[in-house]
């Protein structure tokens, strides 16, 4: 999803990563994370779904921090 600037009227470019995965601020994700199609959630290079975390996985990740 893109949005129009209320000041300039220009459309923003789509971000390369879905917002939920962009919240992973780990060094590992920053250095080695994959870019994904924001409409499908698939890896841009392989076409595989990379948003496969279950709610339990996310809870475990947050609890570990």
Computed from CA positions of residues 59, 51, 3, 8, in that sequence, does the dihedral angle turn out positive or negative? positive
- The per-residue b/e assignment along 1-34, b for 16 or more CB within 10 angstroms, e otherwise, is eeeeeeeeeeeeeeeebbeebeeeeeeeeeeeee
Coil, strand or helix at 8: coil
23-62 pLDDT, tens digit per residue, is 777 777 767 766 666 566 666 666 666 655 566 666 776 7
Q: Where are the domains of the chain?
A: 19-58
Confidence of residue 8 (pLDDT cuts 50, 70, 90): very high
């Amino acid at each position: 999803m893109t949005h129009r600037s209320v000041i300039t009227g220009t459309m923003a470019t789509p971000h390369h990563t879905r917002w939920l995965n962009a919240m992973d601020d780990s060094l590992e994700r920053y250095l080695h994370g994959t870019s994904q199609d924001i409409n499908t959630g698939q890896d841009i290079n392989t076409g595989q779904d990379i948003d496969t975390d279950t709610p339990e996985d996310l809870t475990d990740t947050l609890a570990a921090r």
